[in-house]
Amino acid sequence: MIDAWVYIEHDSGEIEDVSLEIVGRLNEIKASLPLRITGFSFGRDPGEIPRKAISQGVEHFIFLRNDLFSFYDTQSYVNGIEGIVRERRPDIILLGATYQGRDLAGRLAARLKTGLAANAITLNIDEKGLLYTGVPGYGGRFIAEIVNMKARPQISTVRQGIFRKLPQDNSRSGEVENIEVKFGDFSPRLRVVERVRKDVKDITKSERVVIIGNGAGNNLKPIEDFARLIGADIGVTRPVADRGLAPRDIQVGSTGVSLNSKLVIIFGSSGSNHFVSGIERCKNVISIDVDRNSNIFNYSDYCVVADMFTILPYLNRRFGGQ
C-alpha cells in the first residue's frame, strides 16, 4: 500500500481548493494503484474540516491539535508534524503551492532530510510508489520531471487550479484521528501582530477573465467597466500587482495563478514566458496591444493592434455601457 498524505490547508475552517484538487488527482491515480490517501491539518479545533475533506475523497484524516496552531508559524507546524511523520513514514507528502504550503514544505523537507519538488503541474506515481512531479522552469517553458529515489517521504508542492477536485459526496466515510500535539519547551519565535485580508475571487475557475497588463498604466477604470459589461472577472500581470493596484491572488502567470477559462481578453501585455504560461489552458485568447510585434500575439487567437484607450470606449458602448 502506498501511503500518500495531503496537507489540508485551511483558514479558520475554510479549506483551500488546491488541497482538495490534490486529493482529486490522487483519487484518479488510486483507480490503478493501491493507494491510501491521508489528509492532515493543524488547528485549535477540527470543526467540520475532517468531514469536509472526507466527503471530497480523503480516506483517513489526522487533525493535529494545539492552541499554538491558531496562527501560522513555520517552526510550530514543522515541529507539530515531524513526530508523526517519523513514526508512520508516509511515502509521499503533498502540499498546495500556496504562500503557506511553500513556506512549510521547504522546512519540512530539510527537517526530514529528504528531497522536495515545488509547484508541480503533473503528478504521477508508479507501482513502486515513486512520485514523478512535473515542475515548470523558466517561467513555464520547460517542465522538468523530478523524482526522488533516495529518501522518503517524497515531498512536493502542487500548483493550484491544475487538477480537479471530486464532487462532494457525504456518503463517503473515513477514519478521523485527533492528535493533541505536545511541544515540550518549544515556544514560537514568530508572532502575528496584525492580519489584513479580504476575500478574493479564485479566478482559476472563472469562465471569462479580462486581464489588465502593464500597458494600462494606472487607468484601470475603462477595462474594469468592460469586464463588468461582459460578465468577466479581472486578472492582472505581475507589474500591475507589483504596483499594488491589484492583489497578488489575481495575478496570472508562473508566480501567480493558471486560468482555465473559456475566454480571456488581455489588454496591454508584452507576453513574457512568465505570464503566458498562465493562459495556456484557456480556450479562446484575445489580445489588444499597440505594438504589432508584441509577443502576446503569438499566444492569441484574435489579435487587435490598437491603443486600448481608443478602442475601449467603442467596445464599452457596443456592450451597452456608457
Partner 1 sequence: MKNIIVCVKVVPKTEDVSFDPVTKTLDRSKAENQINEADKNAIEYALVLKEKYGGNVILLSMGPMFFEPFLKIGIAMGADDAILLSDRAFAGADSYPTALTLASAIKKIGDFDLILCGEESSDAGLGQVPSQVAEFLDLPQALFVSSVEIEGNKIKARRSVKGGYEIVELPLPSVISIELGINQPRFPDFKRKRWADKEFKIKVWNMKDLGLNENIVGLRGSYTFVNRFIETEPPKRLRRYIEGSPEEQAEKLYEVIKEIIE
Ligand X SMILES: Cc1cc2nc3c(=O)[nH]c(=O)nc-3n(C[C@H](O)[C@H](O)[C@H](O)COP(=O)(O)OP(=O)(O)OC[C@H]3O[C@@H](n4cnc5c(N)ncnc54)[C@H](O)[C@@H]3O)c2cc1C
Residue 234 and residue 213 in contact, taking contact as beta carbons nearer than 8 Å? no
Closest CA to 155 of 128, 119, 182, 205: 119
Strands 10-11 and 14-15: antiparallel
Shortest CB 172 distance to partner 1, Å: 27
The residue from 269, 287, 300, 316 that contacts ligand X (CB under 6 A) is: 269
Binding mask 208-247 for ligand X (x = CB under 6 A): -----xxx---------------------xxx--------
Shortest CB 76 distance to partner 1, Å: 10
The residue from 11, 48, 169, 291 that contacts partner 1 (CB under 8 A) is: 11
Q: How many residues does the chain have?
A: 322
Contact between 90 and ligand X by CB under 6 A: the answer reads: no
The residue from 258, 294, 300, 316 that contacts ligand X (CB under 6 A) is: 294
Give residues 219-278 in contact with partner 1 (rule: CB under 8 A): 230-231, 238-239, 241-242, 247-249, 254-255, 262-263, 265, 272-274, 276-277
The distance in angstroms from the start CA to the end CA of the chain is 62
Binding mask 90-119 for partner 1 (x = CB under 8 A): --------xxx-xxxxxx-xxx-xxxxxxx
Shortest CB 276 distance to ligand X, Å: 8
Return the number of the residue (28 or 138) whose C-beta is nearest partner 1.
Answer: 138
Residue 261 contact, options partner 1, ligand X, none, Cβ 5-8 Å cut-off depending on partner type:
none
The 3-state DSSP class for residue 302 equals strand
Measuring CA to CA, how many Å separate 116 from each of 42, 60, 132, 158? Answer: 21, 24, 11, 11
Give residues 162-221 in contact with partner 1 (rule: CB under 8 A): 188-200, 208
Of 101-109, 184-192, 193-201, 248-256, which segment contacts ligand X by CB under 6 A? 248-256
Residue 177 contact, options partner 1, ligand X, none, Cβ 5-8 Å cut-off depending on partner type:
none
Give residues 56-95 in contact with partner 1 (rule: CB under 8 A): 72-75, 78
Residue 160 contact, options ligand X, partner 1, none, Cβ 5-8 Å cut-off depending on partner type:
none
Characterise 12 by phi-psi region: left (phi > 0), alpha (psi -120 to 50), beta (else). left
Contact between 308 and ligand X by CB under 6 A: the answer reads: yes
Residue 124 contact, options partner 1, ligand X, none, Cβ 5-8 Å cut-off depending on partner type:
none
DSSP 39-60: EEEEES--TTHHHHHHHTT-SE
Alpha-carbon distance of 51 to 70, in angstroms, equals 20
Instruction: Pull the grid cell for residue 259.
Output: 486560468
Alpha-carbon distance of 240 to 271, in angstroms, equals 14
Residue 259 and residue 210 in contact, taking contact as beta carbons nearer than 8 Å? no
DSSP 272-319: -HHHHTTTTT-SEEEEEES-TT-GGGGG-SEEEES-HHHHHHHHHHHT
Binding site for ligand X (CB under 6 A): 213-215, 237-239, 251-256, 268-270, 272, 274-275, 288-291, 294, 307-309
